[in-house]
A and B are shown apart, each in its own frame.
Chain A
């Protein structure tokens, strides 16, 4: 069975501070890893994904995540956050069958 654990349910930070949202996964087979973002009363939007190749993946709005197979982690980082980054962030994995298994989410709140 596969599982995803997001280690922090809430992360409050000040604007322009760095942030790290932690994600660990468990799987006995190879996985694809994703970070999704969800704004209030909205669906999920893909932020970034790791399929293969370089273990460091980046999004267009400054987030990055690093796939670490030995530590089974896929932490999300941003060096300087904005108020508009306030949202719920979900880490997810995909294995055979193409369905996603999600973590419980991390609420990122950026304060002025």
Chain B
């Protein structure tokens, strides 16, 4: 296991289409996070899971966004009816315990909505 893996790396979609991203965390990590990063900004928290439970969702996560982590392993982030404002880098991170270890980030999925 070499780190957090995200697929796809790039996604171009037409406005109104649905998209789904996948994140495979480091295998022994029980916490998984999603962040969104727009150009020139720092990452913004979207949601996080401890095992399979989704413990917190940001107000940035509108009804069009849904995240799952079945069986506490990989996670998916789906955006329905995409809008141009959804264009961003979507970052996934995982960690084992709060404050004890760092959060390891994947390379991100860059979404472009045209």
**Residues in chain A within 8 A of chain B (CB atoms):** 4, 32, 34, 36, 41-46, 49, 51, 90, 92, 94, 96-105
How near does chain B come to A95, taking the closest CB pair, in angstroms? 9
**Complex contact B105–A97 (CB within 8 A):** no
The answer to whether A98 touches B91 (Cβ under 8 A) is: no
Give chain B residues whose Cβ lies under 8 Å from the Cβ of A46: 102-104
Whether A42 pairs with B102 at a CB distance below 8 angstroms is no
B35 to chain A, nearest CB (A): 8
Pair B102/A43 contact, Cβ less than 8 Å: no
* Size bin of chain B's contact surface: 20 to 34
Interface string of B79-106 (1 = CB under 8 A from A): 0000000000001010100111011111
Whether the Cβ atoms of A42 and B43 lie closer than 8 Å is no
Task: Provide the bound-state CA to CA distance between A35 and B35, in Å.
Answer: 16
Known: A43-B4, A104-B42. A32 touches B99 (CB 8 A): yes
Contact between chains at A99 and B45 (CB < 8 Å): yes
Which residues of A lie under 8 Å from residue B33 when comparing CB positions? 98-100
Q: A36-B105, A43-B4, A44-B105 known; 7 other A-B pairs, CB under 8 Å?
A: A41-B107, A42-B108, A43-B106, A44-B91, A99-B45, A100-B43, A102-B43
The CA of A79 and the CA of B60, in the complex, are separated in Å by 39
A-B CB proximity, top 8 nearest: A102-B42, A43-B105, A98-B98, A44-B105, A46-B102, A43-B107, A99-B45, A104-B42
- B99 contacts A42, CB within 8 Å? no
Once A94-B99, A104-B42 are accepted as A-B contacts, the answer to whether A99 and B48 lie under 8 Å apart by CB is: yes
